[in-house]
């Protein structure tokens, strides 16, 4: 199977809602294979309309999560751990309804939670993450969806920054429904080698986010794209490579991702340039895939 090249709705908007469905048509016209929806509030999305939009465009459905302070599987307060798990379950229900087979993101903890903590507390938070993701993995299995767990850079979390760390987490979780999600932006900061990170993930790699070192269009900066693709081909990766970036026009998500200036002449140009680069880079191993 070929690698699918996709784009995340955050390139253009946040939050993605029922009024944003025209973005699927835009992505299809540009030539993307896959469209990724960020599920910021699952209760606001109409599953039937989303499913129809994917059917109309022929795009492959993928989803990612947004993990704010109260969606935290490692939190000291049980109510916030429960809220995090309930949010994941709601997202999985939506994924199953629209035909998305992967739900990705840093679901082990809240984004922006970075502190120096005693080893005892770190160990306790790790155990909570393992327990929560194991429970989420059961829900994912029931929904026919794969959880793809994403390491973040040191400025966004203190728990899991590298592929080796997330691989250890998966060893502890021990669920066939839980796999790995790598993001070139974070890997460019934290990994000694993006190629080695992909090889570490191996057959457990379920999803890839692609953007430059400055969150711009793939190919416009200094990320080791050749190493990424060499690793993907060597492990026989047949998932999606999705452009994830953000627009400074959406103030809340731009602040969360520290986007203080435009990263391209337009968001359409960012998407098109990134697609053109990835298509050429991946070559004959990229293209349309079945649902």
Catalytic residue ranges: 150, 244
Task: Write the DSSP string, 5-64.
Answer: EEEEGGGT-SS--GGGTHHHHHHHHHT-SEEEEEES-GGGS-HHHHHHHHHHHTPEEEEE
* 256 close to 112: Cβ distance less than 8 angstroms: yes
Dist CA 210 CA 214 (whole Å): 11
Alpha helix segments (H runs only) across the chain: 22-30, 47-57, 78-98, 119-143, 163-173, 184-190, 194-201, 225-234, 251-256, 267-282
Per DSSP bridges, beta strands 60-65 and 146-149 are unpaired
Dist CA 244 CA 211 (whole Å): 6
Q: Which residues pair with 208 in a beta bridge?
A: 182, 241
Nearest to 128 by CA among 164, 176, 80: 80
Dist CA 9 CA 275 (whole Å): 14
- Which pair of structure tokens corresponds to residue 93? 């229900």
């Amino acid at each position: 199977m070929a690698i699918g090249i996709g784009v995340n709705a955050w390139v253009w908007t946040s939050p993605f809602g029922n009024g944003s469905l025209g973005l699927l048509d835009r992505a299809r016209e540009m030539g993307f294979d896959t469209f990724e929806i960020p599920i910021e509030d699952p209760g606001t999305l109409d599953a039937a309309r989303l499913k129809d939009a994917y059917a109309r465009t022929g795009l492959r459905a993928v989803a990612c999560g947004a993990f704010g302070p109260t969606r935290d599987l490692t939190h000291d307060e049980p109510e916030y751990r429960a809220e995090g798990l309930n949010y994941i379950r709601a997202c999985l229900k939506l994924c199953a309804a629209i035909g998305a087979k992967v739900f990705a993101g840093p679901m082990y903890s809240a984004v922006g939670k970075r502190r120096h903590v005693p080893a005892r507390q770190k160990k306790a938070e790790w155990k909570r993450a393992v327990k929560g993701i194991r429970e989420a993995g059961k829900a994912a299995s029931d929904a026919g969806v794969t959880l793809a767990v994403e390491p973040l850079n040191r400025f966004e979390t203190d728990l899991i920054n590298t592929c080796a760390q997330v691989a250890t987490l998966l060893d502890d979780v021990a669920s066939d429904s839980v796999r790995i999600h790598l993001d070139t932006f974070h890997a460019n900061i934290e990994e000694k080698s993006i190629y080695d990170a992909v090889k570490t993930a191996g057959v457990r790699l379920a999803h890839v986010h692609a953007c430059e070192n400055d969150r711009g269009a793939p190919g416009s900066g200094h990320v080791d794209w050749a190493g990424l693709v060499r690793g993907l081909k060597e492990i026989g990766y047949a998932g999606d490579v999705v452009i994830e970036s953000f627009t400074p026009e959406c103030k809340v998500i731009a602040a969360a991702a520290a986007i203080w200036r435009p990263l391209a002449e337009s968001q359409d140009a960012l998407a098109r340039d990134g697609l053109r680069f990835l298509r050429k880079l991946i070559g004959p191993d990229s293209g349309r895939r079945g649902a």
